[in-house]
Amino acid sequence: MKEAVLDVLTTLLGSPWWYVALFSFSAIDGFFPVVPSESLVITAGVFAANGTTNLALVIAVSAAGAVLGDHVSYFVGRFAGAKLLRHLRTAPRRRAGFDWASSTLAERGGLILVIARYIPGGRTVTTLTAGMVGYPLYRFTCFDLLAGVSWGVYSGLIGYSGGIAFERNPILGLLFGLGLALSVTVLVEAGRWLYRRRRPESDEAEPENSDPVTSSR
């Protein structure tokens, strides 16, 4: 059974269409965060260890797709911001995420665009918010390029390290890569939780009549 799975994966990964799929899924994940683009990049990285895929090409294609997807999300926020904001007012949980992204963009600027890529659900919320609050496009593009390339390198190398560690068993290498990525995500979330716990209450308090969208323009 395992050999059959490996044969199918090797056949698919050896096809040039795999790079098209990587680009497409990485782009779609930017504005429709249900597509497991990171898992696909990690998988391609695992098989790069035995030469089935090209690691540099995997990283480049994934990063390019991610940057494109982020810009789609940005322009959706920019041109449909008012409608989205009305929807957010009826969805408290989503509104909370928007408020966090908006205030963090105002405080830290483009740095949050890089950090949010490694926070579950943070990438789309932040890029949408950047468009909604009118964050300058040239600055968005510069920071997003940094975020996209770093994400491509991170995901590709995690997979590649698993492939090297388990060269004779790519399935174990894939599980190792996915587990390592999950561990990093858990650590990031734990760090965010501790940071929020340690922040003084005065830093978290905001005037009731403040609106992150209008105050950030």
Tell me the pLDDT tens digit for each residue of 98-142.
666 667 676 667 788 888 888 767 788 889 888 888 888 999 999
Q: Does residue 162 or residue 197 have the better pLDDT?
A: 162
Q: Does residue 54 or residue 2 have the better pLDDT?
A: 54
Phi, psi of 80, deg, nearest 5: -125, 25
pLDDT at site 195:
57
Contact yes or no for 7/48 (Cβ under 8 A): no
CA gap 42, 29 in Å, rounded = 15
pLDDT at site 124:
86
pTM: 0.73
pLDDT at site 89:
55
Considering just the CA atoms, what is the radius of gyration of the chain in Å?
19
Band the pLDDT of 188: cuts 50, 70, 90: low
Phi-psi region of 200 (alpha: psi -120 to 50; beta: other; left: phi over 0): beta
Residue 85 has pLDDT above 70, yes or no: no
Residue 192 has pLDDT above 60, yes or no: no
Burial of 29 (0-12, 13-18, 19+ CB in 10 A): buried
pLDDT at site 211:
44
Q: Mean of the pLDDT values across residues 171-189? A: 64
Contact yes or no for 45/155 (Cβ under 8 A): yes
Residue owning tokens 């994400």: 151
Amino acid identity, position 2? K
pLDDT at site 215:
40
Residue 184 has pLDDT above 90, yes or no: no
pLDDT at site 147:
93
Residue 6 has pLDDT above 70, yes or no: no
Contact yes or no for 173/163 (Cβ under 8 A): yes
Q: What is the pLDDT of residues 44-66, one digit of tens each?
A: 888 888 888 899 999 999 999 99
CA gap 28, 211 in Å, rounded = 30
pLDDT at site 81:
67
Domain ranges of the chain: 2-216
pLDDT at site 112:
83
